[in-house]
A and B are shown apart, each in its own frame.
Chain A
Amino acid sequence: MKLFYGTQLPNPLMLGTAQYPSPAILEQAFRDSGAGVATVSLRRESGAGQTFWQMIRDLGVLILPNTAGCHTVKEAVTTAHMAREVFDTKWIKLELIGHTDSLQPDVFQLVEAARILTEDGFQVFPYTTDDLIVGEQLLAAGCEVLMPWGAPIGSGRGLNNAYALRAMRAEFPDVPLVVDAGIGLPSHASHAMELGYDAVLLNTAVARAGDPAMMAKAMKLAIEAGHLSYQADPIEARDMAEPSTPVIGKAFLS
């Protein structure tokens, strides 16, 4: 598995911490998913969510604070600084929302904020679209990880454009790539891993499931399956049947 800014992830699942029915269920979901990274939103808490943040620290996993809900470079940079103080980490998931309804990233501001934060010593995980040129610009701005969306945040639609995600994998073979957002089902998460992605980041699919802990476990298994599948070099799809048992000696020409 590729290193994320020099850090080996325990496994390829990054799990969000928002929207769970309770912190106890959140904790159970983390246990059952085995997720090695927890993403935490800082914006709404404005420096005062100490108890909740302590609960996240107590999960004992790597923490990836995010700038969820930020709409401008300035907001995102301020939030990143706050995150660095609160969680004592250089990691920041950079999220710059450009559109209210689709929560689509504003890639122009994203590149700018990524440059500012990188220069300031942050290790930026940018939530971006599946656009290759934007990906290049983010790498040029100093990012060493790319996190393209599968579908809009919370939509649960899976990989809207598997072609573009595959192209991104081919274009950036050495960059750690994470599908971030849009995952609704374990099959979506598996699909991302089958494409050769290095990790999957999800939140709503688990937190809002009827049984979050059970869904967390389903995601874990699916991600493992997809990851193994990619490493196992799956067969190519083909148009005609290829018999899996020998046909010689059978009257196949009759």
Chain B
Amino acid sequence: MTVWSVIGSGVAGLAVASELVSRGAQVQIFDPGGPPGPHGCSWWAGGMLAPWCEFENAEESVLRLGQHALEWWGTRTRVQRRGTLVVANPRDLPDLRRFSRRTEGFAEVDQPKIRELEPDLHGFTRGLHFADEAHLDPRQALRDLYTQLVKQGVEFHHKLAPTRLENAIDCRGLHARDVLHDLRGVKGEMLVIRCPDVTLTRPVRLLHPRIPLYIVPRGDGVYMLGATMIESEDSSRITARSMLELLSAAYALNPAFGEAEVLEIGVDLRPAFPDNLPRIRRLGRTIYANGLYRHGYLLAPALAQGVADLALKNTHSEMVDEDRA
């Protein structure tokens, strides 16, 4: 029986492995970084399953392919189906109108309704509620996939994959630039804060012309604040400006965030192709799956299904843009 070797255990690699195993394939995984952890950019993700909101600034396929994500993740990790709330300060209401024109699947909400959904959001008179969206804890999701795969008999090799591997599926993210020359890194900066004084139960997006922010509750008063999007490939550190912008936006949501503890600062590079959409390429004996950009958890299931279709059935999903097997 063919053994598929998945290289990389970020969200792409684990999702591909999970999909292959669920279809009865035999899989092993190589990642010199060890189990999922801070060395992969999916560790630093928001974990929003928000295809309708993301459609505001993305191609139609993100909306279409992303809708399968809720179901796919729901059978593998805890998915919280509490929707997304999008708000803007009164002076930025043009941005809210624009957002509503560019998206679908929401209900317009007024101040009483906003307070009913999230009592700790003050001072917002208008908002959009995307009731069908969901979120997950990305680190828990990675751990859950990892544990399930181990239970299913998948062998993890905490080392570099041998060269000239047969039936390899390369999910190394930005590290695959040595082969995928049109891949670039888009810098993202995020913070994890603890603020038990504020209770938010669903992801909230604050629209702002310069600094759009989202905040995702992780439970126990912990929140993920994200994320900048900078065309830069230096992931060495966060800038003071980004930190100020992220924290000011949180403060604008609720001034009690001023008392929050900063638990973590995350900086990493999202792997992206020029159109910011994921790609599957078969070059020789290796299938490359990459370019999830800011849609790691949203599009990893579709990417994994596309890889499995190509690997096991030789069918080409829309994400396959090159096949030189």
Asked if A234 CB lies within 8 Å of chain B CBs, one says no
Return the contact of A210 from the options B102, B232, B233 (Cβ within 8 A).
B102
Are A48 and B232 in contact, with the CB atoms below 8 A?
Answer: yes
* Chain A to chain B: the 6 pairs with minimum beta-carbon distance, closest first: A48-B234, A24-B275, A51-B184, A52-B231, A22-B276, A24-B274
Interface residues of B in 191-228 (CB under 8 A from A): 209
For the complex, what is the distance from the CA of A173 to the CA of B231, rounded to whole Å?
39
Asked if B230 CB lies within 8 Å of chain A CBs, one says yes
Asked if B163 CB lies within 8 Å of chain A CBs, one says no
How many A-B pairs have beta carbons closer than 8 Å: the answer is: 50
- Interface size (B, Cβ < 8 Å)? 20
Q: Which residues of A contact B234 (CB under 8 A)?
A: 45-48
Q: Which residues of B contact A48 (CB under 8 A)?
A: 232-234
For the complex, what is the distance from the CA of A183 to the CA of B138, rounded to whole Å?
41
**Selected A-B contacts with CB under 8 Å, 14 pairs:** A21-B57, A22-B274, A23-B275, A25-B275, A44-B231, A45-B230, A45-B231, A48-B234, A49-B230, A50-B233, A51-B184, A51-B233, A55-B184, A208-B98
Given contacts A27-B274, A52-B184, contact A21 B58 (CB under 8 A): yes
Asked if B101 CB lies within 8 Å of chain A CBs, one says yes
A119 to chain B, nearest CB (A): 29
Asked if B185 CB lies within 8 Å of chain A CBs, one says yes
For the complex, what is the distance from the CA of A48 to the CA of B236, rounded to whole Å?
10
User: Main SS of the interface on chain B?
Assistant: loop
B16 to chain A, nearest CB (A): 24
Asked if A154 CB lies within 8 Å of chain B CBs, one says yes
Type the 1/0 row for A11-33, where 1 means its CB is closer than 8 Å to any CB of B: 00000000001111101000000
Beyond A49-B233, A210-B101, 12 additional pairs, beta carbon < 8 A: A21-B57, A22-B276, A22-B277, A27-B274, A44-B230, A45-B230, A46-B232, A48-B232, A48-B233, A51-B184, A52-B231, A55-B184
Are B275 and A44 in contact, with the CB atoms below 8 A?
Answer: no
Interface residues of A in 32-64 (CB under 8 A from B): 44-52, 55
Return the contact of A51 from the options B58, B98, B185, B209 (Cβ within 8 A).
B185
For the complex, what is the distance from the CA of A191 to the CA of B185, rounded to whole Å?
39
Q: Which residue of A lies closest to B58 (CB)?
A: A21
For the complex, what is the distance from the CA of A5 to the CA of B98, rounded to whole Å?
39
Q: Which residue of A lies closest to B293 (CB)?
A: A22
Are B232 and A44 in contact, with the CB atoms below 8 A?
Answer: yes
Interface residues of B in 242-286 (CB under 8 A from A): 272, 274-277
A231 to chain B, nearest CB (A): 35
For the complex, what is the distance from the CA of A49 to the CA of B235, rounded to whole Å?
11
